[in-house]
Amino acid sequence: MQSWYLMVDMQLHWFSLLILYPLWKWRKVGIYWIAFLVGVSCAIPFAITYVYEYRTPLPTGVITK
């Protein structure tokens, strides 16, 4: 079980370097990079939900038959 935590910790360490290094070295490029990552992290779940027509388990106030 400890090897799983070590693996995840190492992956998050490398991923954080991909985010923080451009922000530290090239400020403007780093800000665009973070904005791009935020946009992609919002677009992917939206696209998956749209393509597979997943429904929310929460009540939305719309009654469908």
Query: Can you list the alpha helix ranges (DSSP code H) found in the chain?
Result: 2-25, 27-52
Q: pLDDT tens digits, residue range 43-52?
A: 999 999 899 9
Where exactly are the structural domains of the chain? 2-52
Closest to 17 in 3D by CA, of 25, 46, 49, 39: 25
Vertex 27: Cα angle to 26 and 31 (nearest 5): 115
Structure-token pair, residue 37: 């990552």
Question: Tokens in use for 10?
Answer: 């190492």
Eight-state DSSP code of residue 61: S
pTM of the model: 0.65
- At 5 the pLDDT is 87
Which regions of the chain are under pLDDT 70? 1, 60-65
pLDDT, residue 35, reads: 94
| Pair of tokens at residue 24 | 């530290």
